[in-house]
Amino acid sequence: MSIDLQFDSNHLWHPYTSMTKPLPCYGVVSANKCILELDTGEQLIDGMSSWWACLFGYNVPELNAAAKNQLDKMAHVMFGGLTHQPAIDLAKKLVEITPKGLDKVFLADSGSVSVEVALKMALQYWHALDKPKSQFLTIRNGYHGDTFGAMSVTDPEGSKHELYHNFLAKQLFAPQPAVAFSQDWDKSCLDEITRIVADNKQNIAAIILEPIVQGAGGMYFYHPQYLKGIRALCDKHQLLLIADEIATGFGRTGKLFACEFADISPDIICVGKAITGGYMSLAATLTTDKIANTISQGKAGVFMHGPTFMGNPLACAVACASIDKLLSIDWSDKVKNIEQLLNSCLAPCRDLPQVQDVRVLGAIGVVEMKESLDVAIVQKQFVELGVWIRPFGKLIYIMPPYVIEKEQLQRLCTAIYTVASAS
């Protein structure tokens, strides 16, 4: 099967891509388990889980069946004034598996929108208490999405959102946690963010961060004690804590949710990406009874948000099947095995003079180079090696599907070493 790549290049805008000098695109005609098949007949081992989402790879029988079964009933129905069993079932599962106390579920249509919902929940909560607050506090090198509220709490300096800086709400930024995941804890790591809170607490609606793993902002893993300290800081000053678990949720870090590393529960949590096993776009924002009830008793009397495709039945049905499948397998052991293999197979990269750092957590492996990479060149090298790995900046990273075979993961790591050594 031939794909019209020329039309694609001339008319289709891809993520973070120029229309005058577009990055090369490779045509995919089918995908199964951990293999992407190109229109050229080449087969690539997928190291990206399609941006964290495809936990079980592609063409998953249980998820296929859930989609087909729901499609025969209804693909979509508005969520205003109507409801349906897939949404109810999904909400039950999310309340059960997310950190304790998050009992109210808002179903959104993408991760970025779930962040917008979380920010609006925090703002509306304080408004309902007649204590309006207008700023958020976050940490440097974070990433929360591409919509305007989400961009405002994404580090604007040197990021993909830098050019929008003057158009965004002005938020507060604390330094990136200085103590990495595997280092000895130093409580002074919390000094600066503690000072910022003390100076600005009257206007801070919430602290928002990615727990433990900062994803698209740099693939950095910070110490769980930092997150525990942030929870305590929020409690002390009566601030809300928003945990963006869109990238880290559903087992990717080795915990079902990364908040579990610090044994804390946020006031609001955002989940997405892997929620449907990578089948379609869906996300959710969960919060506490206290926050939901306070919002509902405020001046508006309702929460002011409602996407057209909110609670889409087809997506909810697949999400239920994906969560059921995750909980039915020994996902923890699978992720632990991936982590062990990544640690051993990526270790040789540490000896390369071009490499700054190698880090692994759960089913995430990162090789940080000393210099930025040419994505087009590196992408081509990976394809020639029979793998699909998409780097950014100085980072070559993988987060393979949990069902990846040992030999496939070894090939991914070997490809990384080969490309890194030639860069």
Q: Which residues are catalytic?
A: 16, 143, 244, 273
Distance CA 22, CA 12 (A): 10
- Of 7, 72, 3, the closest CA to residue 40 belongs to 3
Structure tokens at 176: 């990136």
Beta-ladder partners of 242: 208, 268
Query: Dihedral, CA atoms, 244, 250, 252, 253, nearest 10 degrees?
Result: 70
Distances (CA, A) of 10 to 19, 22, 99: 7, 9, 46
Distance CA 201, CA 206 (A): 9
Q: Are 272 and 246 in contact (CB under 8 A)?
A: yes
- H runs (alpha helix) in 245-371: 289-296, 313-328, 331-346
Q: Are 123 and 352 in contact (CB under 8 A)?
A: no
Distance CA 133, CA 201 (A): 9
Query: Dihedral, CA atoms, 198, 200, 204, 206, nearest 10 degrees?
Result: -40
Q: Report helix, strand or coil for 334.
A: helix
Structure tokens at 287: 């919060």
- Of 252, 306, 310, the closest CA to residue 278 belongs to 252
Q: Are 395 and 38 in contact (CB under 8 A)?
A: no
Beta-ladder partners of 144: none
Distance CA 359, CA 343 (A): 8
CA 39 from centroid of its chain's CA atoms: 29
Q: Report helix, strand or coil for 251.
A: coil
Sign of CA pseudo-dihedral 127, 130, 134, 140: negative
Distance CA 136, CA 201 (A): 10
- Of 282, 285, 287, the closest CA to residue 310 belongs to 282
